[in-house]
Amino acid sequence: MEYIKYRFYQKASKCSAEFQRLKKEHADVVLGQVTLGQVLTGMKGIPLLVTDTSKLDPEEGIRFKGYSIPELQQKLPKINPEGEPLPEGLFYLMLIGEIPSQEDALNLSIDWATRAHVPQHVFDVIDALPKTSKPMTQFSAAILSMATESIFQKAYRAGVNKKFYWDATYEDVMNLIARLPRIAAYIYRRQFHNSDHIEPNPRLDWAGNLAHMMGFNSEDIRRLFRLYMIIHADHEGGNVSAHTAHLVGSALSNPYYAYAAAMTGLAGPLHGFANQDVIFWIFEMIEALGTDAPTDEQVSDYCKRTLEEGRVIPGYGHAVLRKTDPRFTAQEEFANKYIKNDPLVNLVNQLYRVVPPILGSVGKIKNPWPNVDAYSGSLLYHYGIKEYTFYTVMFGVSRALGVLASLVNDRIYGMPIERPTSHPLSWFKEQAEGKGSDC
């Protein structure tokens, strides 16, 4: 057993024993009340999931195994001291719960490079789709087509003991993460660069290799890709993509099935598609105002018109957060450090000044502050990735780190199939008002 896998097993097996003990000894402990409002507004705030990789606090923002994003930027291994952390290091942290050494992160990078071969039939599936297919459609189909390679699926059919489900799941997860940059870059080059594909460079790190295969080889953009993959990697377990991977995985569907399902959720406008919505809306504003350097008053008027039309200002607000998203702040600091006087970046900064007071004046809006999507597109666009329909694929590559680390935990904990109880609307009306309805 290679040493990263062994370290995971050592740590996780102790947590698994704790999971089983709590389930056995404290199953009747009441965690809180569930209100009708919570049920009817998307189960917000109901403690339902065990997710060890990260936790989202409404006031503090996301923490990965207890570490904030600024702490990760300081503590995780880097290729050079002035750069951004390696996503390999974050995956190690989420999986094992310890800050890795430089050697640990680089060994993980080498391991993924050795696993990165994508079967030919996956490219055939992508090529069989019309080039008019959205990048996320191609991405999801490619992931699903790789289920033919599932080690877990083969082990399950061979009758492996359920206490070893985690082992085969780990192998699938490592193979899947390793192959994602190749698949994403293939889709990008196929759709936007006349299928002029670029072979992987196994000497590069995971994020740097994605940039290389997409056709971008400057150290600046590799630095951005590492940051992008860090900040999008996980957002606790209740968001659509993470919850979907957990839910589908709870049926013992193999990791390829679970992750493909998660990506179809990420593709939704209320989730990962939002980064595309932000850029689209900003370019609509530029066209409507006739300038990419509008005044604050022009921006304010346009934002107010957007709200009056019954639309939202994309990139602002969050279901849980009640402050500026730390992931937004990390990107803002990156731009301040490396990008000078870019019109699109300037406009994003201008929106940060103008939008919150407008939204704050609308009483029903609980969070007028920007989220991660408000900034990410402008940075990618600045470095030449102007095909914003592809941005959600990049989000998806990153999100694999968190949701798939969680899936391995699910298997070693022996988590059962997820099956909440449901009732018709009339039942809820009867609970609230003492009488049912015809609905």
Active site residue 373: yes
Which candidate in 318, 325, 382, 410 is catalytic?
Answer: 318
What would the two tokens of residue 170 be?
């780990």
Which candidate in 167, 205, 373, 410 is catalytic?
Answer: 373
Which candidate in 212, 232, 271, 382 is catalytic?
Answer: 271
Active site residue 382: no
What would the two tokens of residue 179 be?
């192959």
The backbone region for 290, taken as left when phi is positive above 0, alpha when psi lies in -120 to 50, beta otherwise, is: left
Active site residue 234: no
Compute CA distances 211 → 138, 175, 217, 336, 431, whole Å. Answer: 19, 19, 7, 22, 55
In degrees and rounded to multiples of 5, residue 378 shows phi and psi of: -65, -35
Q: Which residues participate in catalysis according to the annotation?
A: 271, 318, 373
